[in-house]
Structure 1
Amino acid sequence: MNTSVSIFAEIPETLHESLQGYLETHPDWDQDRVFSAALSLFLLQNGRNNTPEALQSCRQAARIYLETLFQSDRLA
């Protein structure tokens, strides 16, 4: 089952402007897709615990990251 959770976050204005610029030039991406890719990549790069739970979490983050990068169903 693929569930979603909404997140409310404040970001610096300059980061928001950069995001808006990116989204204007990449119509197949939206804000949710960018945040999902960015957060999953961050977790992949910063997960350093070798417990079974951490390894499972890393695999899930990798799956979400790759799915987010390569999804094309948002073009419809």
Structure 2
Amino acid sequence: MPVHVSVENQLPEDLYRAMGLFISEHPQWDQYRLVQAAIAGFLFQQGCKERSVVRHYLGGLFRRNDCPASQPLV
């Protein structure tokens, strides 16, 4: 099982609301999956070729929709 690191961040309120709206409309996503996909996507688009980053990027694109969300955005 991969090691996870907890990250704390402050978001602009409008971005936070947009993230909450997206998650409420797409129950297969949760805040953790969304942030992981965003970071991996950014790194990949900036040219990062590390296998683990590419795996996370592709995993975010092709993850099955029937996976339940682990925790709601609070």
TM range (shorter): 0.7 to 0.9
Asked whether 1:6 is paired with 2:29, we answer: no
Counterpart Cα distance in 1 of 2:67 and 2:10: 25
Q: CA RMSD in A?
A: 1.9
From 44, 55, 60, the equivalent of 1:68 is: 60
Gaps (5+ residues) in structure 2?
70-74
Letter of the 1:35 counterpart: V
Larger CA Rg, structure 1 vs 2: 1
Deviation at 1:68, TM superposition (A): 2.4
The share of aligned pairs that are identical, in percent, is 38
* Structure with more of its chain in helix, by fraction: 1
- How many equivalent residue pairs? 68
**Which fold has the larger relative contact order, with Cα–Cα distance below 8 Å and residues 6 or more apart in sequence?**
2
Deviation at 1:69, TM superposition (A): 2.7
Counterpart Cα distance in 2 of 1:3 and 1:45: 24
Extract structure 1 runs of 4+ deviating beyond 4 A: none
Partner of 1:51: none
TM-score, length-normalised on structure 1? 0.76
TM-score, length-normalised on structure 2? 0.77
